[in-house]
Amino acid sequence: MPVRRALISVTSASASLFNGKETTGLFIIEALHPYKALVEAGFQVDLASETGSYTADWLSQQPDFLKGDDLEIWNNVNSDFRQKLDNMPKASELDGSQYGLFFASAGHASLIDYPNARALQNIAEQVWANGGVVASVCHGPAIFSNLVDRATGEPIIKGKKITGFTTEAENVMGIMSELRGLGVEMVEELSERLGATYERSAGIWDDFHVVDGRLVTGQNPASSTSTAKAAIEVFETL
| Residue 185 a catalytic site member | no
Q: Which residue is catalytic, options 138, 178, 188, 209?
A: 138
Q: Which residue is catalytic, options 30, 50, 125, 170?
A: 170
| Residue 93 a catalytic site member | no
| Residue 139 a catalytic site member | yes
Asked whether the whole model's pTM tops 0.95, one would answer yes
Give a three-class secondary structure readout of 66-133: CCHHHHHHHHCCCCHHHHHHHCCCEHHHCCHHHCCEEEECCCCCHHHHHHHCHHHHHHHHHHHHCCCE
Q: For residue 1, what pLDDT band results from cuts at 50, 70 and 90?
A: confident
pLDDT at residue 201, as a whole number: 98
| Topology at the third CATH level for domain 5-236 | Rossmann fold (3.40.50)
Please state the domain extents for the chain: 5-236
pLDDT tens for each residue of 185-234: 999 999 999 999 999 999 999 999 999 999 999 999 999 999 999 999 99
Q: Which residue is catalytic, options 30, 139, 188, 209?
A: 139
Q: For residue 136, what pLDDT band results from cuts at 50, 70 and 90?
A: very high
pLDDT at residue 104, as a whole number: 99
User: pLDDT exceeding 90 applies to what percent of the chain?
Assistant: 98
